A and B are shown apart, each in its own frame.
Chain A
């Protein structure tokens, strides 16, 4: 059974640009969550989608947004990139909102 797939694995952008990260959940999983991991702040919850609806949102500025498609695949977008957005972005999927999450390998985003 394929795991959670995140693309791309690595990304380099410059300040002011925007970026879109993609996440394909485990087959059959309808809940997708996104987390940001940095050395300073650790792992922080960004948002969760279930059946194309955002269920929860973390404490991040509006530059961070996401969406989920009918096939449960999800994308997150960060606009007007800042140096502090450099991080590992992890996507997790689960069967439903109360089931354990399974994580992908992450997308490492570097901002120059």
Chain B
């Protein structure tokens, strides 16, 4: 069965620091998709990125960047120059179909302190 591990339960950084959230997955599927979602205190899960298993190119979107490495089964997420508004719980997720069902990690709670 597929499994997603986010070993960091909570991270606290000072504003403007860079922070990396780790995600390790286990699967025997050859085709799969990896996701990151952000959950602010309001509860809504905000979609950040989807990456398929054939695309190992790193991606950058503003202050966010993602590093996908199949060799280590990792899909890490870095926030550069963190801001207070980045404070949230971040979930890494897996899907074999591109959509559902999503298998989520336990999440990493990020607190950015001003």
User: Do A and B associate with each other?
Assistant: yes
B100 touches A55 (CB 8 A): yes
Segment at the A interface, from B12-20, B22-30, B38-46: B38-46
Task: Indicate if B91 sits at the interface (CB-CB under 8 A).
Answer: yes
Segment at the B interface, from A16-24, A73-81, A89-97: A89-97
Alpha-carbon distance between A42 and B39 when the two chains are bound, in angstroms: 12
Residues of chain A with a CB closer than 8 A to B50's CB = 100
Residue of B nearest to A102 (CB): B47
Task: Indicate if A64 sits at the interface (CB-CB under 8 A).
Answer: no
B97 touches A98 (CB 8 A): yes
Alpha-carbon distance between A96 and B100 when the two chains are bound, in angstroms: 10
Report the interface size for chain A: residues with CB under 8 A from the other chain.
28
CB distance from A16 to the nearest CB of B (A): 27
Which of B35, B93, B98, B107 has most chain A Cβ within 10 Å?
Answer: B98
CB distance from B93 to the nearest CB of A (A): 8
Report the interface size for chain B: residues with CB under 8 A from the other chain.
22
Residues of chain A with a CB closer than 8 A to B44's CB = 3, 103-106
Residues of chain B with a CB closer than 8 A to A55's CB = 100
The DSSP consensus for interface residues of chain B is loop
Residues of chain A with a CB closer than 8 A to B37's CB = 103
B91 touches A43 (CB 8 A): yes
A98 touches B99 (CB 8 A): yes
Q: With A43-B91, A106-B44, A108-B43 in contact, is A101–B107 under 8 Å at CB?
A: no
B99 touches A101 (CB 8 A): yes
Q: With A43-B91, A43-B104 in contact, is A103–B99 under 8 Å at CB?
A: no
0 or 1 for each of A27-49: is its CB under 8 Å from B? (1 = yes): 00001010100000011110010
Task: Indicate if A58 sits at the interface (CB-CB under 8 A).
Answer: yes
Task: Indicate if A70 sits at the interface (CB-CB under 8 A).
Answer: no
Residues of chain A with a CB closer than 8 A to B103's CB = 45
Q: With A42-B106, A43-B91, A100-B47 in contact, is A105–B42 under 8 Å at CB?
A: yes
A interface residues, Cβ below 8 angstroms from B: 3, 31, 33, 35, 42-45, 48, 55-56, 58, 88, 90, 92, 94, 96-106, 108
